[in-house]
């Protein structure tokens, strides 16, 4: 893990309320693995004492991207940064997805902004020659913020929106069984709302290996404060350093 002053290369508005922040740091870009995150100081006064965790979204040529959903003061600050600004960042942190080994077909499952680490993973799976499909759900078409990126790195995207504005209409979990049956994957990788992850885990129990990336509010981000624990079959684990990626069978939902 490094602590760096990362320079902002670009700050692009993807859709209303979502920005893609590209940051320059060869240390983080070279070491980051899909599923790991960085801990970002989102301001310079007492209102921003605690850092915010963000999954590494993509890496390229000594830089890395974060996908920022604007929900409060910290993310509003990040959305207003300009090229040349600097951010105090710690990372990469945590245990990412385990995607090596003897398997051929994978299904990636993303709910909303949970797509962030899975684009990075999809790129690595393509490099490894794996057949990869994607189940992607959001409330509206606008919430499917990475469709164009995914179309270049996976074989097929199965899209679901709650309002029916794009793809199938309904909740992602209502169509998981259909996507699972159609693609017949050897591995499942998922990131999104915890209720979605729970249902995916229950649906895959005893069938194929499933890994889930959990989200928690974090104070320190380095395993010291115990503010981000989750309950597992081995006891309470720290999402920041023991995760954020866990085997779904380990979690007590």
Alpha-carbon distance 51 to 220, whole Å? 8
Each residue's pLDDT tens digit, 46-65? 677 899 999 999 999 999 99
3-state secondary structure of 161: strand
Q: Is 235 exposed, middle or buried (0-12, 13-18, 19+ CB in 10 A)?
A: exposed
The residue written with tokens 């890994």 in the block is 211
Q: Name the CA dihedral angle for 132, 195, 166, 108, rounded to a multiple of 10 degrees.
A: 0
pLDDT level of residue 75 (50, 70, 90 thresholds): very high
| Domain ranges within the chain, ordered by starting residue | 2-93, 105-250
Task: Average the pLDDT over 83-110 and give the result.
Answer: 96
Listed in sequence order, the DSSP H helices in 94-223 are: 116-127, 147-151, 172-183, 194-204
CATH topology of domain 105-250: Rossmann fold (3.40.50)
Q: What is the mean pLDDT of the chain?
A: 96
Task: Average the pLDDT over 188-205 and give the result.
Answer: 97
Task: Average the pLDDT over 85-110 and give the result.
Answer: 96
Question: How much is the pLDDT for 48?
Answer: 78
pLDDT level of residue 127 (50, 70, 90 thresholds): very high
Using alpha carbons, select from 182, 129, 186 the residue that is nearest to residue 157. Answer: 182
The 8 Å CB, 24+ separation contacts for 79-86 are: 79/11, 79/13, 79/19, 81/8, 81/11, 81/21, 82/8, 82/11, 83/8, 83/9, 83/10, 83/11, 84/7, 84/8, 85/7, 85/8, 86/5, 86/6, 86/7, 86/8
Residue 210 has pLDDT above 80, yes or no: yes
pLDDT level of residue 143 (50, 70, 90 thresholds): very high
Q: Please tell me the CATH superfamily of domain 2-93, with its number.
A: Translation factors (2.40.30.10)
Residue 229 has pLDDT above 90, yes or no: yes
- 202: CB partners within 8 A, 6+ apart: 253
């Amino acid at each position: 893990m490094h602590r760096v002053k990362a320079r902002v290369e670009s700050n692009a508005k993807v859709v209303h309320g979502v920005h893609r922040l590209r940051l320059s740091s060869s240390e983080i870009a070279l070491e980051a693995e899909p599923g790991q995150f960085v801990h970002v100081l989102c301001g310079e006064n007492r209102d921003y004492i605690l850092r915010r965790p963000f999954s590494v979204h993509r890496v390229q040529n000594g830089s890395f991207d974060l996908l920022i959903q604007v929900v409060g003061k910290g993310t509003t600050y990040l959305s207003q940064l300009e090229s040349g600004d600097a951010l105090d960042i710690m990372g990469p942190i945590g245990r990412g997805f385990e995607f090596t080994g003897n398997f051929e077909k994978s299904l990636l499952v993303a709910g909303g902004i949970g797509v962030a680490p899975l684009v990075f993973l999809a790129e690595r799976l393509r490099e490894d020659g794996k057949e990869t499909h994607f189940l992607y759900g959001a409330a509206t078409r606008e919430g499917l913020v990475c469709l164009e990126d995914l179309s270049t790195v996976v074989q097929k995207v199965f899209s679901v929106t709650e309002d029916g504005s794009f793809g199938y209409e309904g909740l992602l979990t209502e169509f998981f069984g259909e996507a699972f049956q159609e693609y017949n994957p050897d591995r499942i990788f998922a990131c999104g709302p915890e209720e979605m992850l729970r249902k995916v885990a229950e649906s895959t129990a005893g069938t194929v290996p499933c890994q889930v990336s959990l989200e928690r509010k974090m104070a320190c981000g380095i395993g010291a404060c115990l503010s981000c624990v989750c309950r597992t079959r081995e006891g309470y684990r720290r999402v920041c350093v023991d995760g954020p990626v866990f085997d779904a069978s380990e979690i007590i939902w």
